[in-house]
Structure 1
Amino acid sequence: MVEHSNRKDSRAAEAHQSSCLDPFGTWKMSNAAHGFGYPSFVSYNGLEMVWAILFYVPRWLWKNWEAGKVSALRMDLNLGIISEVEKKLKKKLLIDYMYSNLKHHNFWAYRYFFCEFLSLINVGGQMVLLDRFFDGTFFTYGIEVMSFADRDQEDRIDPMIYVFPRMTKCTFHKFGTSGNIEKHDALCILPLNIVNEKIYIFIWFWLLIIGFLTFLVLVYRAAIIFSPYIRALVLRMRYRRVKRECIDMVIGKSYVGDWFLIYLMGQNIDSVIFKDVIHELAKKLGYRSRDIGET
């Protein structure tokens, strides 16, 4: 604890020491004597590009794996107002597809679940990446900011200034009148860090919330995978027009991949048409009831 405190005090003090201006005009603080450096503006931009790419990867994977299956099966049945002949034909095509391909959608669905899991790994990886980027200070950055006001005055070090220094000693190199390179020292303000400290405190909370919500989604997904009862319950709650017995019949004769496809189709086609599709599918699977006639 003492070593960690000394390290923080030392780094906070060094925040006002040497820096240089790189050839592209961006500030880059450094302290070779103590073996650490402060990230430059170019580094921040590069890191944000990495975030964007990594967060897009799960969506890109699913977009390629899904390959427009739901859109193809929808067949304009989301419109609702279509001719009866066309409606019957398209419903029959959809029912025949779902019946003939029953129990063959697990691999397709598990790839979507993998993308959800990859999203959680991505959030955790982003936290680790940022923590390494900021020399082990990002994990506790939000906590430090929230607890800053409650600390004793003599022990109070603003964590935002500690991570994002606002002032530093600058060394300018330029050609003098004799043609030699001259060094000029000045006290420089880093106004961009005033913005960066606010951005990264938002990112800290944002990643924390996203990680927690993604974890809850994975818990829900695990319950869906291992419990047919929960799968049926979700469909009954989401699609109340469909008869409970028909849902139970379909879920009892299908796998989780079929449930996932049915759930997505319910979100993408007209609710009345979806009800007819599930009722007809249940009849093909063996459900018998006078309440369900030909549709």
Structure 2
Amino acid sequence: MIDFYQSLRTLLRLEKIHADNNVFKLHYKVTVVLLLGFSILLTSKQYFGEPINCHIGKTDISKDFIDTFCWISGTFTLKKTINSKNLPGLGNPFDAKDSEIYRHFYYQWVSIAFGIQAIFFYVPKFLWKTWEAGRLRLLIGDLGGPLISDQWTSARKDTFVKYLVNGDCAHNIYMCRYCICEFLNFLNVCFQIYFMDWFISGHFSSFGLAYASYKDVNPMDIFFPKKAKCTYRNFGPSGSDEEHDFLCILPLNVLNEKLFLVLWYWLFILLAISSLCLLYRSLFLFAPKFRVYLLRAQCRKLEKKKAMLIVKKFTYGDFFILYKIGKNVDPTIYNEIVASIYAHFTMKGSCKNFPRDDEV
């Protein structure tokens, strides 16, 4: 297992060229590593032993058989005894109505569910990696380091400028694909919360709040019982029905309750951050003044009117590429690129309708 955790470090490896942002990385790096780590931890019998252990009492039924039967068929706790100090959730199930019973079927699938969730969180990254196809890496090349490369020449600078000012709206498609992936990240978080809510019978969405505010009954004892019951029905020697009631211990739920609590907080934090990211992207797309602010934040000595001109002449896709370049190259190189773009527009006579402060 230690070797596996060392292999997960590759997902957290720092990249030289960043074609996405930090919020995107929270989805496909941090969350994927978190979920895969949970999944592997739950399957490590060397630390937590068998996932279920049932007490069969005086019976001729095999204990291994009952353990396996109760593992695959699920267990349950009784609502009417959940507040009991002596063996809470246990009691006689045969005279209880179905609505008075908490049934637990999720625990067989927790590690698999975490693994599937990890795949879903990586899908938007896979799409973006496929669509992006290393374009930014090819464009920036060896200019992504902290030092100015010897390869940075006037010819290289002219190539940058020509590429950016002659995009012919192709960069709009590039950015639209990125926006689709960001929106998929947001939808995926919403779906995962809904999926977890269904997975543990409608209790996940309020799990963290219920745990933070409980006074008498710990919700973890309801959703993740450590002691539960299992009923086995069989035929007796004369063909009559026989019902056997067994007490089962679920040691993995000691760990499950902590993992689900961490996951609850993380998914809702991630949902809030992703919502803010969509708001930021909306301003980026539909508010030119916001793009002027972003450009001047990257080029702190850039005059406002120059920034306004560049934003006016660039499509949102062209500006997106320019902004990504600014996130990956040395500030000195980026300032030269921006200055050359401004010079290109002025030399072409494109600034005769120079924007006023209230036009952008």
Identify whether the pair has TM-score above 0.5, normalized to the shorter chain: yes
Match of 1:22 in 2: 68
Specify the SS of the correspondent of 2:142.
coil
Can you give the 5+ residue segments of structure 2 that lack an aligned partner in the other structure?
A: 1-53, 57-64, 77-92, 234-241, 352-360
CA contact (8 A) 2:75 2:230 kept: no
2:96 maps to 1:50: no
Match of 1:81 in 2: 148
CA contact (8 A) 1:246 1:282 kept: yes
Q: Separation in 2 of the partners of 1:208 and 1:52?
A: 16
Residues 190 and 27 (structure 1), Cα distance of their counterparts in 2 relative to 1, 3 Å cut: farther
1:45-194 aligned at under 5 Å gives the runs 45-79=111-145, 80-83=147-150, 87-101=153-167, 103-149=169-215, 156-169=216-229, 186-194=246-254
Match of 2:89 in 1: none
Aligned residue type for 1:119: N
Aligned residue type for 1:192: L
How much is the aligned-residue C-alpha RMSD, in angstroms?
3.0
Q: Aligned residues, how many? A: 257
Specify the SS of the correspondent of 1:286.
helix
Can you give the 5+ residue segments of structure 1 that lack an aligned partner in the other structure?
A: 1-15, 150-155, 174-181, 290-295
CA contact (8 A) 1:243 1:279 kept: no
CA contact (8 A) 1:65 1:111 kept: yes
Q: Separation in 1 of the partners of 2:305 and 2:141?
A: 27
CA contact (8 A) 2:165 2:314 kept: no
2:316 maps to 1:252: no
Specify the SS of the correspondent of 2:114.
helix
CA contact (8 A) 1:107 1:257 kept: yes
278-287 or 222-231, which moves further after superposition?
278-287
Q: Separation in 1 of the partners of 2:295 and 2:164?
A: 16
Identity %: 31
CA contact (8 A) 1:106 1:257 kept: yes
The superposition leaves residues 91-120 of structure 1 with CA deviations (integer Å, 9 ceiling, x where unpaired) of 121111112215331111011111111111
Specify the SS of the correspondent of 1:169.
strand
Aligned residue type for 1:54: F
Aligned residue type for 2:170: H
The superposition leaves residues 14-49 of structure 1 with CA deviations (integer Å, 9 ceiling, x where unpaired) of xx9x995327x9575235973874135431011101
Normalising by structure 2, what TM-score?
A: 0.64
Residues 172 and 21 (structure 1), Cα distance of their counterparts in 2 relative to 1, 3 Å cut: farther
Structure 1 residue 194, shift from structure 2 partner: 1.0
Q: Separation in 1 of the partners of 2:108 and 2:306?
A: 59
Structure 1 residue 240, shift from structure 2 partner: 1.3
112-121 or 233-242, which moves further after superposition?
233-242
Aligned residue type for 2:294: V
